[in-house]
Amino acid sequence: MSSIPVLEIFGPTIQGEGMVVGRKTMFVRTAGCDYRCSWCDSAFTWDGSAKDDIRKLSAEDIYEELYTIGGDKFDHVTVSGGNPALLKDMGILVDLLHDKGCEVALETQGSRYQEWFTKIDDLTLSPKPPSSGMETNWVKLDGILHELEQAGRVDKASLKVVVFDEADLEYAKDVHARYPHVDFFLQVGNDDTEEQNDEVLMYKLLKKYEWLIERTMESDALNRVRVLPQVHALLWGNRRGV
Ligand SMILES: C[S@@+](CC[C@H](N)C(=O)[O-])C[C@H]1O[C@@H](n2cnc3c(N)ncnc32)[C@H](O)[C@@H]1O
Ligand SMILES: Nc1nc2[nH]cc(C(=O)O)c2c(=O)[nH]1
Ligand code: SF4
Ligand SMILES: [Mg+2]
């Protein structure tokens, strides 16, 4: 039986980020990450603070809970984390969700490949810029994109770089230039993940969005791109489970 470490199952809500922004979806958030981004907005998945809340669930358990919460009001499930790409057994859940008539999206940083990536309907690869403190393994990322290419699945994938500063913007340009044929998203970085006042956060994030749009418009290296905020952060702040 498959065993997947789960921290959150929630929805339906909108996908707040990237290639399918606005799509009605359920979320499954797995525990554990091979990275430790300085600004991670889901640090509870790996910093030990929620370790007592981790549940080892089978794919069937997960679908049952999705159905209990969402009923017939969803046909799309987003798997995020942590890094769900650490989990070989995730392929079993992907197959089950497809059998149930759901599309499946994945959020991962592109540090690990799994064979089940080629079954994902909306695959977001989010390599990490300098501000994260993480180092991109380009060999791995090249390998993932090579596998997707071989499987004819590049059109199901996108790259999404979170930007906090000028160095991140330069990194984003490098990523886009390396994979010019892959749909590319620039995302506003939230460096206030502790802020509890939604209005204060919304204003700060919109100002950052404006800055990111301006810098992107000025660049001749960022043309076939989309610039987006985290819509869920604008609407619901730093709350979990939305
Ligand atoms: C929490 S991560 C989980 C999936 C995977 N570990 C990854 O990083 O892609 C989900 C998405 O949130 C983004 N993210 C995390 N912290 C953020 C922040 N403070 N501001 C903006 N985006 C953030 C990540 O880049 C990723 O695209
Ligand atoms: N609404 C909503 N959209 C999201 N897009 C990516 C998320 C994530 O944490 O991976 C996320 C999330 O947590 N909530
Ligand atoms: S890779 Fe994703 S989950 Fe892991 S620390 Fe970075 S943002 Fe957080
Ligand atoms: Mg998030």
With a CB cutoff of 8 Å and minimum separation 6, the contacts of 164 are 39, 129, 131, 189, 191
Distance 215 CA to ligand 4 centre (A): 24
Mean pLDDT of the chain: 98
pLDDT tens digits along 94-153: 999 999 999 999 999 999 999 999 999 999 999 999 999 999 999 999 999 999 999 999
| Structure ipTM over 0.85, yes or no | yes
Tokens of 221: 């290296």
Q: Which domain holds residue 206?
A: 4-236
| Beta carbon of 15 within 6 Å of any ligand 3 atom | no
Distance 78 CA to ligand 2 centre (A): 8
Asked if the structure places residue 18 within a domain, the reply is yes
Q: The domain that contains 38 carries what CATH number?
A: 3.20.20.70
Domain count, the chain: 1
Asked if the structure places residue 241 within a domain, the reply is no
pLDDT tens digits along 162-176: 999 999 999 999 999
Asked if the structure places residue 242 within a domain, the reply is no
pLDDT tens digits along 195-207: 999 999 999 999 9
With a CB cutoff of 8 Å and minimum separation 6, the contacts of 197 are 237
Asked if the structure places residue 91 within a domain, the reply is yes
Asked if the structure places residue 173 within a domain, the reply is yes
